[in-house]
Amino acid sequence: MIRIISGDTLDTIGPFVDRLREKSAEGQAPPPNFTELIKKSVSEGKTFLYSAYSDDDQLLGIGMFGDVSKRISFVFADGDQDLEIKLVDEIFDNHSKDCSSVAAAGPWITEVISNHLTKIGFRKFNRAYLSLERADIESARQPELFEDMKFEMYNESQRDEVSKILFKANDGFVDQIVFPHFFSTLETCNKVVSDIENSVYGEYKEPFSWILRNNGQIIGICLMSIRNNGDTGYIPYIVIDPDYQGKGLGRSLLIHSMKKIIDGEPDIVKVDLDVTLENDAKFLYKSVGFKNVREYSMYNWVNEGE
């Protein structure tokens, strides 16, 4: 039997999450405080946690759906892939009718789950998690800007203007397909910027996000946050207005922003980001020196009935 776990029974998942951690591949295990993070997210209404029980009420599997990201975050049934498929189907059936899109991602997606997701209508996109060490950032040469261009610290009063650039840069391109709940409209772009500011994707500190201006007009934005208890800078998004791309400005903005965050946060040892492999931005990141930590797949289903 599969059901949503209620708040007063969340403590029962602790031992099961421990088994998930033990069976995860090296570098892919949930953090030690994962159970507490789940409890907090469920109590705040940001997450739906599903459970599969035997007839004698033994916990056999769990699955999580993020209501903010509209994502199946993970399922785990201790190696029982048939039950994992049932958990995926239950989560998908319960939420897809109310969502314009549903995503699925994570190391929990085995080949069997991948095949099942594509069978029920999800499209697969390959992604990479990249990292650049602090020493490489320190040694990176800051390219010079063109005349009448300057960097400026971002603040939330510029959100509407930045959101327009975000939408313009993604409209009709691959990340709009991968993340329609982020980039499908100007309104969703505005919300993702707001979510970054509200530390949804890591701890946000205003001094470490930067814009690029040309003759007073914003033409680029690099949004940054801090993860892993303060030792990792993370770039949720960097974008240059399409009218100004191809001039090396993305490289300038990227290096400038990374240097600012390591100067301000001495505990940061690296800066990380994710990229869709169909996105040409991967060439920028490689040129700066980012190394491929791991590749993974994102799956996205779009509600054609909307």
Q: 86-144 pLDDT, tens per residue?
A: 999 999 999 999 888 899 988 889 999 999 999 999 999 999 999 999 999 999 998 88
SS3 content of the chain, % helix, strand, coil (to 5): 40, 30, 30
Task: Measure the N-to-C terminal CA separation of the chain; round to a whole number of Å.
Answer: 31
pLDDT tens for each residue of 289-306: 999 998 889 999 988 865
pTM over 0.85: no
Q: Return phi, psi of residue 268, to 5°.
A: -70, 125
In this structure, which topology does domain 129-296 adopt according to CATH? Aminopeptidase (3.40.630)
Select from 76, 84, 80, 88 the least CA-distant residue to 22. 76
Write down the CATH number for the domain with range 2-121: 3.40.630.30
Say whether 271 sits in a helix, a strand or coil. strand
Distance CA 76, CA 56 (A): 19
Task: Break the chain into its structural domains and give their ranges.
Answer: 2-121, 129-296
Closest CA to 49 of 39, 34, 59, 58: 39
Tell me if 2-121 shares its fold with 129-296.
yes
At 222, is the secondary structure helix, strand, or coil? Answer: strand
